[in-house]
Copies of this chain bind each other. A is one copy, B any other.
């Protein structure tokens, strides 16, 4: 359950309304709520999943696999709905993210760096998918972190080889998409291959998206989605970012053989193995933002959902967010007071100082500097997983008085921003938002309120 510990909502009704709106967003993307919303049982033993009917009378086995940080709560939600119909299941979660389940085995594994436990869990999933028939239903539970947590390199390539690959490519500046193209072609499950292993069973992927825009082939490296990349692309990445051949020979050899046709490439759109696959985004940033917008409208705010694709350096994005607040305050454009603008996505922070903070706290702190003196403006930025950067806060909440409040206590907001020390600053001025772990992750929400 969402529980805003701080700031004290009762102290200030403006803040209370902001937290009310953000709380509505978190509630809408709670994995249990979200799965219940999408997966609905009916009296005549039919399971409706996002509008598609599955006749449970004709289903022999229900197998659950998957991975991601929200895996445990997703597994609980599925158990609650299907209970004794579940035949078996294995879901990999990050160390410390486990929870009690009945029929689905929740296994802890390494994230963000994959480890042997992750490999073992993934191999157990593959075992469950052996000998599937068209009468089986495979439920795949996917959430953020699933790419590292569902790791099973092809034969001949070790986990150590994979780590060297990642190190080499990162060091030479390869973009993450390029790295993932190579990884998909060294995996037994990524890039739609998990769905191919499950074939000819019906496959339903319930996906909690932590990727801006929710592209199916990117979230957790798309284990049940068609993959647009090919062995030749993977080789192109190596040619460009590993000209010296530092990547292990096992990997180069596998890709070379892949190009020569020794192995099947990842399944493409239209592949027969993906014919009976339903990929369902059960929750993503758009759902959170829409729920926030709905709640803000209920509360009487003139509301605009501006984007769910927000990216950029947090402190610079804050300038734009502040510019939106200033216009509403000055002219009532694009919507008059009381107004609420919502922006979803995920910003980044280039670390220069050695302070403590997260992208949402940094965005809020920079916004505080930009809106100082402005009355009746509140800007909040929230990590929906409840953990903003390496802190116990979910984000920040600031207004036109925040900077002055700090000054009166002897703290400089500008200095805090210079040192990437938003956490301590916001803590001092009562500007942290704390939710505790939310068991979900659909990136961040930024809300601008002008009362």
Interface residues in chain A, defined as those with a beta carbon under 8 Å from any beta carbon in chain B: 213, 286, 304-313, 316-320, 322-324, 326-327, 330-331, 333-334, 343, 345, 370
Are A310 and B320 also in contact (CB < 8 A) when A213-B326, A286-B331 are? Answer: yes
Asked if B286 and A308 make an inter-chain contact with CB atoms under 8 angstroms apart, the answer reads no
Q: Which of B316, B326, B334 is close to A312, meaning CB atoms less than 8 Å apart? A: B316
Give chain B nearest CB distance to A49 CB in angstroms. Answer: 23
Give chain B nearest CB distance to A31 CB in angstroms. Answer: 23
Number of copies: 2
Asked if A323 and B311 make an inter-chain contact with CB atoms under 8 angstroms apart, the answer reads yes
Give chain B nearest CB distance to A441 CB in angstroms. Answer: 19
Asked if B327 and A306 make an inter-chain contact with CB atoms under 8 angstroms apart, the answer reads yes
Residues of the B chain whose Cβ atoms lie less than 8 Å from the Cβ of A305: 327, 333-334
Residue of B nearest to A345 (CB): B323
Asked if B306 and A311 make an inter-chain contact with CB atoms under 8 angstroms apart, the answer reads no
Known: A309-B323, A323-B343. 11 other contacts (CB 8 A): A213-B330, A306-B306, A306-B333, A310-B323, A311-B319, A311-B322, A312-B316, A312-B317, A312-B320, A313-B316, A317-B320
Q: Which of B304, B310, B319 is close to A317, meaning CB atoms less than 8 Å apart? A: B319
Give chain B nearest CB distance to A289 CB in angstroms. Answer: 9
Asked if A309 and B334 make an inter-chain contact with CB atoms under 8 angstroms apart, the answer reads no
Cα distance, A330 to B289, chains bound together (Å): 14
Cα distance, A203 to B316, chains bound together (Å): 40
Are A327 and B307 also in contact (CB < 8 A) when A316-B316, A316-B317, A317-B320 are? Answer: yes
7 A-B pairs within 8 Å (CB atoms) are namely A306-B324, A307-B333, A310-B320, A311-B323, A311-B370, A313-B313, A323-B345
Give chain B nearest CB distance to A438 CB in angstroms. Answer: 23
Q: Which of B213, B286, B306, B322 is close to A334, meaning CB atoms less than 8 Å apart? A: B306
Residue in A316, A320, A333 with the greatest tally of chain B CB atoms within 10 Å: A320
Asked if B306 and A326 make an inter-chain contact with CB atoms under 8 angstroms apart, the answer reads no
Interface pairs A-B: 3 shortest CB-CB: A312-B319, A316-B316, A309-B323
Are A307 and B326 also in contact (CB < 8 A) when A286-B331, A313-B313, A331-B286 are? Answer: yes
Residue of B nearest to A370 (CB): B311
Residue of B nearest to A303 (CB): B334
Residues of the B chain whose Cβ atoms lie less than 8 Å from the Cβ of A312: 316-320, 323
Residues of the B chain whose Cβ atoms lie less than 8 Å from the Cβ of A306: 306, 324, 327, 333-334
Cα distance, A335 to B19, chains bound together (Å): 26
Residue of B nearest to A317 (CB): B320
Cα distance, A220 to B313, chains bound together (Å): 32
Residues of the B chain whose Cβ atoms lie less than 8 Å from the Cβ of A307: 320, 323-324, 326-327, 333
